[in-house]
């Protein structure tokens, strides 16, 4: 039996790692392909660059054996990956009061994807109105920035700054999304850092690894907001893609609230690349 790893984007991630990690957000979607089965019976996108990987000696490892270009006809080919079967359907599984240093009146709510992926979390501060646009921040998890205080990005400042701003305004919600490294995962983010140390910018490093420049999905965030009862938001972001991404899935963005922080010697090039190549409003 061969396994066809179909990436979320048109460019397939050249991935080799533990099978347990493959289902996490940002990693390639893995489908089983029986010999003799037509690819359009197991694959979703019309055009994919597929990496064929064969099961190795251990059931916990995969070994890449080749790359093929294929044309995959499919009646739903125009639909994005998020609209595939069981795409990021979420269930609220737990909630608790969790006082924070900058927001003592906070609750933490956990949402689990039905496909077995990593949980996403919502931090609800105060008692936001459901009838007015709620101050909202979408924050992709960042182990290095959020937990370690890395200076290579501005994620830690954005996370803590958003909590402070929401608390100062009285109420709001921060979605903490399991989309590490713009959706490519921590290990691949470290690989991208290695390439950046060789002179590649953050966009080209992702592309060189076989990923899109940004592999994040916005359907999970929109689903979480709907489950929480929020249909309109004042979105704290510098990224126009977040605005269009939420609106595409039915969440009205009444206002974009700038959310920028000063650069340092370690992240200045990273931030300038986001502005020049990714269209961030910095």
Please, which pLDDT band fits residue 50 given cuts at 50, 70 and 90? very low
Half-sphere exposure of 263 (CA within 13 A, CB side): 12
* Start-end of H helices in 119-185: 155-169, 180-183
Q: Which of 50, 83, 116 is the last residue of a domain?
A: 83
Name the residue with higher pLDDT: 243 or 46.
243
Residue 226: Cβ within 10 Å count = 14
Same domain, 241 and 121: yes
Same domain, 135 and 250: yes
Q: Which of 83, 113, 148 is the last residue of a domain?
A: 83
Same domain, 58 and 145: no
Same domain, 98 and 131: yes
Same domain, 150 and 226: yes
Same domain, 116 and 228: yes
Same domain, 77 and 120: no
Residue 238 lies in a domain: yes
Instruction: Give the least confident one: 53-62, 125-134, 199-208.
Output: 53-62
Judge residue 186's burial from the number of C-beta atoms within 10 Å of its C-beta, 0-12 exposed, 13-18 middle, 19 or more buried: middle
Cα separation, 32 vs 6, in Å, equals 11
Number of folded domains that form the chain? 2
pLDDT in tens, 62-117: 333 344 444 433 433 334 445 444 456 899 999 999 999 999 999 999 999 988 88
Residue 190 lies in a domain: no
Residue 254 lies in a domain: yes
Q: What is the 3-state secondary structure (H, E, C) of 54-118?
A: EECCCCCCEEEEEEEEEECCCCCCCCCHHHCCCCCCEEEEEEEECCECCECCEEEEEEEECCCCC
Same domain, 78 and 95: no
Residue 202 lies in a domain: no
Percentage of residues in the chain having pLDDT higher than 70: 68
What's the domain range around 159? 90-179+216-278
Cα separation, 4 vs 15, in Å, equals 12
Residue 198 lies in a domain: no
Q: Enumerate the active-site residues.
A: 214, 216
Here the tokens at position 133 are 């646009």
Cα separation, 239 vs 141, in Å, equals 16
Cα separation, 34 vs 18, in Å, equals 21
Residue 51 lies in a domain: yes
pTM comes to: 0.72
Residue 214: Cβ within 10 Å count = 20
pLDDT for the residue numbered 281: 77
Residue 197 lies in a domain: no
Here the tokens at position 204 are 């080209």
Same domain, 15 and 144: no
Contact 13, 28 (CB under 8 A): yes
Same domain, 63 and 22: yes
Cα separation, 30 vs 12, in Å, equals 11
Cα separation, 134 vs 124, in Å, equals 10
CATH number of the structural domain spanning residue 222? 3.40.50.10990
Same domain, 169 and 125: yes
Q: Which of 83, 98, 113 is the last residue of a domain?
A: 83
pLDDT in tens, 3-24: 344 443 333 344 444 444 444 4
Residue 274 lies in a domain: yes
Here the tokens at position 197 are 């140390």
Same domain, 27 and 163: no
């Amino acid at each position: 039996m061969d396994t066809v790893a179909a990436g979320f984007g048109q460019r397939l991630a050249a991935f080799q790692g533990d099978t347990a990690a493959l289902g996490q957000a940002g990693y390639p979607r893995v489908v089983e392909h029986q010999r003799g089965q037509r690819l359009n019976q197991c694959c979703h996108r019309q055009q994919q660059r597929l990496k064929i990987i064969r099961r190795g000696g251990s059931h916990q490892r995969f070994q890449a054996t080749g790359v093929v270009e294929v044309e995959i006809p499919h009646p739903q080919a125009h639909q994005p990956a998020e609209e595939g079967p069981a795409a990021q359907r979420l269930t609220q599984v737990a909630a608790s009061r969790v006082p924070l240093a900058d927001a003592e009146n906070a609750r933490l709510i956990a949402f689990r994807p039905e496909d077995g992926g990593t949980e996403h979390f919502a931090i609800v501060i105060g008692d936001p109105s459901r009838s007015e646009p709620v101050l909202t921040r979408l924050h992709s998890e960042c182990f290095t920035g959020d937990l370690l205080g890395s200076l290579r990005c501005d994620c830690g400042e954005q996370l803590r700054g958003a909590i402070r701003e929401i608390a100062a305004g009285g109420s709001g919600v921060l979605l903490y999304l399991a989309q590490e490294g713009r959706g490519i995962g921590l290990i691949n983010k470290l690989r991208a850092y290695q390439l950046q140390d060789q002179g590649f910018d953050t966009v080209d490093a992702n592309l060189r690894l076989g990923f899109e420049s940004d592999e994040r999905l916005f359907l999970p965030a929109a689903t979480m907001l709907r489950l929480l009862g929020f249909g309109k938001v004042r979105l704290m972001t510098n990224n126009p893609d977040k605005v269009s991404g939420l609106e595409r899935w039915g969440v009205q963005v009444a206002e974009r609230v700038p959310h920028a922080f000063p650069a340092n010697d370690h992240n200045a090039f990273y931030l300038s690349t986001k502005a020049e190549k990714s269209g961030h409003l910095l």
